[in-house]
A and B are shown apart, each in its own frame.
Chain A
Amino acid sequence: MSDNHSPVVHTRALTKTYRRFDKQPGLMGGVKSLFNRKYIYRTAVSSFDLDIAPGEFVGLIGPNGAGKTTLVKMLTGIIAPTSGEISVLGFIPNKLEDGLKRRCAVVMGQKSQLFFELTAEDTFRLFQSLYSIPEAEYRRSLDMFVEMFGVGHLTRAQVRTLSLGERMKMELIAALLHNPGVLFLDEPTIGLDAVAQRQTRQFLQDVNRERGTTILLTSHYMEDILKLCPRVVLINDGRKRFDGPTDRLFESYKAGMDEDIGSVVERIYSDNPDSSGNSSNSGNQGNLGNSDNSSNLGNPDDSGNSGNSGNPYNQDNPYNPEGGRLP
C-alpha cells in the first residue's frame, strides 16, 4: 500500500473528541443523573499533523492527559478519529484490515498479549500461526530476539511466574516476531527496574537499526526518549507543541550543565501549557508552545536541518521538515 518514499505514518488535522458522562458527585447526584444525564465533550487530540518516515525512531512526549495514548490508539486502529486524515502504511487504521495488522505492532506497557497460564513460547507459536510466519523465519527471529535480551532460559517458563521486566521483554518479542514495518510503543518501560529499562532500550535501538523498523515511542521516562529518539514530538492539550530534534528541545530548556532532566521536562511542559493557559513559565528559553500547530509543521520542501547526528534514518528527513526550529 505504501512505497519506500511514502510516510509510514501520516495524519492531517486529526482530531478525537470524547463524549463523557458528567457524573455529579454524591448519592443525589448519581440519582439525578439517572433521569437527567449530562455529557461533556473533551477534545483529546486536536488538528494533529504528523508524518513519520520509514525507519524513523520518534518519541512522543507530553504530560498526563496530553493526548499521547489517544493518538497511539488512533494510529493502531483501536479507536476511530472524530475527524481528519490518518493513514499508517497506506491503510486507514480503524478499518482494522489484516493487511495493516500484519505489518504493524503495538505494545502497551500495561496490557498484555501473553497467555499467563502458558509459556511465552506458546504465545509465540500462536502468533506464528496468526501472522503466518514461516518456520525458518520464526526460528531466526526468535533466536535473534532471545539472544538480544538474553532470555533463552525464560521462554519455557509459565508467563505468570515471570517478573514484570521479563514479561515486557516477552511482549516485545511477541510483537516483533512478524517483523512489523512499524511499532507503536506506549510506555514499554513503565515499572521496570534500571537494568531492564536499559536492556529494553538497547533492544529497541537494535531493532530499529538492524531491521529498519519505524518506531513511535511514548514514554514518561525521558531517558528513553533522549537515548533512543533523534526526533521528538511534544503534545499537550491534544495539540502538537514541538516536532524536531530531541537534543535541541532539551538543550534549549536546559538552565545549566548539571540540571537534572526532571527539571528540564517540567519547564518544557509548563512552557507549553494546556488551553487553560496555566503556564508557570520561568526562565523562559523560548516558547515552543505555539498553539497554532500548523506553524510547527512546515512543508516537505522546507527541509530545515534536523541537527541529528548518528541516526541514519533522520538525516535530511523530509517528514520532519522544520527540523525543530526554535523561535
Chain B
Amino acid sequence: MSRIKPGITKFIAVARTLFKAQTAYRFDMAMAAVETLGRVLFARILWGVVFQSRETVGGFTYQRMLAYYVVSSFLVSLETSYSVESELNERIRGGSFSKYMVIPTNPIAHFMARTCGSALYSAMFTSVAAVFGAAAFGARLTGAVEPGAAASAALMIPLGLAFMVCFRFWIGVMAFRFEDAGFFIHLEGSVIQFVTGAMVPLALLPDSVTGALRFLPFHYVTYTPAMLLTGQLSRREGWAGLAILAAWMCVMLPLAQLTYDRARVRYDGVGA
C-alpha cells in the first residue's frame, strides 16, 4: 500500500505534464479533430453509396454504421500509443533513451501515464468533433444500450489503451535487440489499423476471421467498445471481451517488462 500512493502520484504528475505539453500543439489537436470528422465523412460517403442498393450490410443499417464510425473515430483518437514505439525506437538508436533510465520511474508506467495525458487532451477536442460529426452527418448515437454493456465498455476502453501501450512498448524495446524496430512498427501499424476495426467494422469480415480475431486483444480496443456503445453488442459479449482483454494484459505487461529488463543490458547508449 505504501508503494501504491507514490506510484499513483507519479502517474498523475506525468499524465498532467504530458497534458500540459500537448497544449503547445494547437495545430496538431485541430488536425486530430479534423481527422475524426474526416473519418465520419468518409464513412458517410462510402457507406451512403453502398446502402443505396441495400438495407443492411453485415447486420448494420446505415444509421448504425454511421454511429459505429462516430464512436470508433473518437476511440481511435484516444489511442495515441503509436508515439510510444516510435519514440522508443528513435531514442534507443540515438542514445537518448538514457533519460528514462536515470529517473526513478518504471518506463512502462511512465509511458502509460504519458499516453493517458495525451489521450485526455485529445479527447477534449475529438469528443466535440465526434458529436459535431454525428449531428452534421445525421448519425443517431442514442440507441438502446444496456447499462451492463456500457459499463463493460467503460472498463474496456482504458484497459485496451493500457494494453496498446504495453504492446507498443514491447515492440519499441525490440530496438535494443535489433537496433531498429522500424520494420516491426511498420508491419504492426498496418495490421493494427485493420484488426482493431479502425478501418472497417470487423463484423463485415468472414465469420472464420472474426471468430479468430475475437481471441486477439486488438478486437477490444476500438471495435468491441464501439459496438457496445452503439447498442450492437450485448452485456454478455462485453464482459466476455473484458475477460479476454484482461487475460492478454496479464501476459503482455510482464512480457514487456521482462523483454525490457533483458534487452536493456545490451544498450550501448551510443551518443548519450
Contacts and interface: CB of A to CB of B under 8 A. Distances in A.
A220 to B, nearest CB: 17
A101 interface: yes
Given A117-B24, A118-B20, A118-B21, A129 B13 contact: yes
Contacts of B272: 69, 73, 78, 108, 111
Given A78-B272, A122-B17, A129-B9, A73 B98 contact: yes
Contacts of B268: 18, 79
A76 B102 contact: yes
B269 A115 contact: no
B14 interface: yes
B102 A117 contact: no
B206 interface: no
Contacts of B23: 117
Contact of A101 (B6, B103, B265): B103
Interface residues of A, number: 34
Interface string A85-99: 000000000101010
Nearest to B96: A111
Contacts of B9: 129, 132
Contacts of B265: 80, 94
Given A78-B98, A102-B104, A118-B24, A126 B269 contact: no
B102 A78 contact: yes
Nearest to B22: A117
Residue of B12, B267, B272 with most partner-chain A CB within 10 A: B272
A40 interface: no
Contacts of A77: 101-102
B27 interface: no
A111 B17 contact: no
Interface string B135-176: 000000000000000000000000000000000000000000
Contacts of B269: 73, 78-79
User: Which secondary structure characterizes the binding site on chain A?
Assistant: mixed
Given A73-B272, A80-B265, A118-B24, A125 B13 contact: yes
B103 A130 contact: yes
Contacts of B99: 111-113
A75 to B, nearest CB: 11
A82 to B, nearest CB: 11
A79 B271 CA distance: 12
Given A73-B98, A78-B269, A108-B272, A115 B17 contact: yes
Contacts of B25: 117
B105 interface: yes
A77 B17 CA distance: 26
B10 interface: yes
Contacts of A73: 98, 269, 272
A169 B99 CA distance: 17
A130 B104 contact: yes
A106 interface: yes
B115 to A, nearest CB: 15
Contacts of A138: none
Contacts of A132: 6, 9
Contacts of A130: 10, 13-14, 103-105
22 contacts: A73-B272, A76-B101, A78-B101, A78-B102, A78-B269, A78-B272, A96-B101, A113-B99, A117-B20, A122-B20, A122-B21, A126-B13, A129-B9, A129-B10, A129-B12, A130-B13, A130-B14, A130-B103, A130-B104, A131-B104, A132-B6, A158-B24
Given A126-B17, A128-B13, A130-B103, 13 more contacts: A18-B268, A76-B98, A77-B102, A78-B272, A102-B104, A111-B98, A111-B272, A115-B21, A117-B21, A126-B14, A129-B12, A132-B9, A158-B24
